[in-house]
């Protein structure tokens, strides 16, 4: 290792800070110091285990479990300040759940049409007549 590389390893770096600061810290401090923190800790583990088990559950259960997962990751962004992590995990959770927000907002635009094999294709928006 060259001398300049060792110097970079020893150079002081600005501290990276995560977690609630300022007014957010004052708001959540009573919660952190109460016995409820154990409930919150275990609820995170239960939600994450349920999301893992959703791999073998029906699609409906996966879409239902998406909402507690999104709430969990929103809490991570707000309380811990890990916004980029929360956004990435929320996007992955939406993809994992199979939820399509376009069809959820306007389901009336989704129609079934027969194809050459006689089996209807579903899930594609059709132009209005």
Q: Answer yes or no: is 96 within a domain.
A: yes
Rounded mean pLDDT, 8-21: 68
Confidence of residue 15 (pLDDT cuts 50, 70, 90): low
Q: Answer yes or no: is 26 within a domain.
A: yes
Q: Answer yes or no: is 68 within a domain.
A: yes
* More confident: 59 or 100: 59
Domain that holds residue 43: 22-100
Rounded mean pLDDT, 30-35: 87
Question: Phi and psi of 40, rounded to 5°?
Answer: -65, -40
Q: Answer yes or no: is 8 within a domain.
A: no
Residues composing the chain: 129
Q: How many domains does the chain have?
A: 1
pLDDT at 105 over 90: no
Cα separation, 127 vs 102, whole angstroms:
15
Which range, 47-51, 62-66, 103-107, has the best average confidence (pLDDT)? 47-51
Q: Answer yes or no: is 106 within a domain.
A: no
Question: Which three-class secondary structure state does DSSP give residue 115?
Answer: coil
pTM: 0.63
């Amino acid at each position: 290792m060259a001398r300049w590389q060792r110097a970079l390893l020893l150079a002081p770096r600005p501290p990276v800070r995560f977690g609630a600061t300022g007014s957010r810290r004052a708001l959540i401090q009573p919660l952190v110091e109460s016995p409820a923190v154990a409930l919150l800790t275990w609820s995170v583990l239960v939600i994450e285990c349920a999301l893992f088990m959703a791999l073998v559950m029906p699609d409906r259960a996966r879409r239902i479990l998406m909402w507690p997962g999104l709430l969990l990751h929103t809490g991570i962004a707000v309380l811990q300040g890990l916004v980029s992590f929360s956004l990435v995990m929320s996007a992955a959770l939406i993809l994992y759940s199979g939820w399509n927000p376009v069809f959820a907002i306007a389901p009336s635009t989704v129609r079934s049409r027969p194809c050459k094999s006689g089996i209807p294709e579903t899930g594609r928006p059709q132009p209005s007549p």
